[in-house]
Structures are given as C-alpha cells and as structure tokens.
Amino acid sequence: MRYWDASALVPLVVAEPDSELVRTWLSEDDQIVTWAWSRTEITSAIERRARDGSLSRHQRREALRRFEAFAESWDEVTELLAVRSRANALLARHPLRAADAGQLGAALLIHEQLAGTLTFVCLDHRLSTAAELESLRVML
C-alpha cells in the first residue's frame, strides 16, 4: 500500500515535469490512500496555476473535472484528532509546514494500523526527508 502526498497527486491531474514518473508509480500500485485535506491542497494547486496564467479557463475546468473524478477512486484518512496529535509532534521534530505535518501525520496513522511497511509517495524533498526519518519507505 502507498500513501500519496498531494505533491505527488497534483502531477496526475495537471501536466508537470514529474507527471510521467508518478503515472508509472500509480501503474505499479493503483491503491491510493491520502489525507482528506489533499483535496484542498490539489484544488489550491489548480487554482494557483489558473491565477498565474499557466492554465487557461478551459484547462482549469478540465483539471478540476479530472481531479474530482480521480478523487473518487482513492481512500482518505479522516481521523482529524489522531492526525493532528501526530502532526503537532512532527512539527517539533522536523522543519515542516502545517499541511505537510498533517500529511505525514496521516501517513504515520495508516502505517501504525498496517502490519507491513507503508510507502510514502511524495515529491517534496523536505517532507520526504522527514518521512524517512520517521521510518517510512519513500518513493524517489
């Protein structure tokens, strides 16, 4: 099983240099688990690209449509209090932003619930480093 951070999900919705790489990862294991807040992070990424002009209005609408359909296929971690307590502890140990600590907190919650090793799929270097330090296997 793989936990997908929003940074790795965005290239599946909008064209980015790493889109082919993450599509390959997805083809190897298409079961996606992510934090419920990932939907907000991905929407933010799409809207930011529309505001800065890298997506036209039509491309924005298509990206949002693809994203909504794609999001129906994954599982979401929704246990806010459990994620928050882990995220707060992570902020004391790693130089993370709040949303990134939430992503890693959600991944650690799933990791604790599984008997095997969880792979963390992430394109953010700082978050990937923190995940490795927390004993998660990271897709690079």
pLDDT class for 117, splitting at 50, 70, 90?
confident
Say yes or no to pLDDT of 115 above 80: no
Q: Residue 11 belongs to what domain range?
A: 2-139
pLDDT tens-digit series, residues 65-113: 999 999 999 999 999 999 999 999 999 999 999 999 999 999 999 999 9
- Tokens standing for residue 118: 């969880």
pLDDT tens-digit series, residues 10-40: 999 999 999 999 999 999 999 999 999 999 9
Say yes or no to pLDDT of 140 above 90: no
Tokens 């799409």 identify what position? 46
What CATH number is given to the structural domain containing 99?
3.40.50.1010
Number of domains into which the chain is organized: 1
Report d(CA 112, CA 110) in Å as an integer.
5
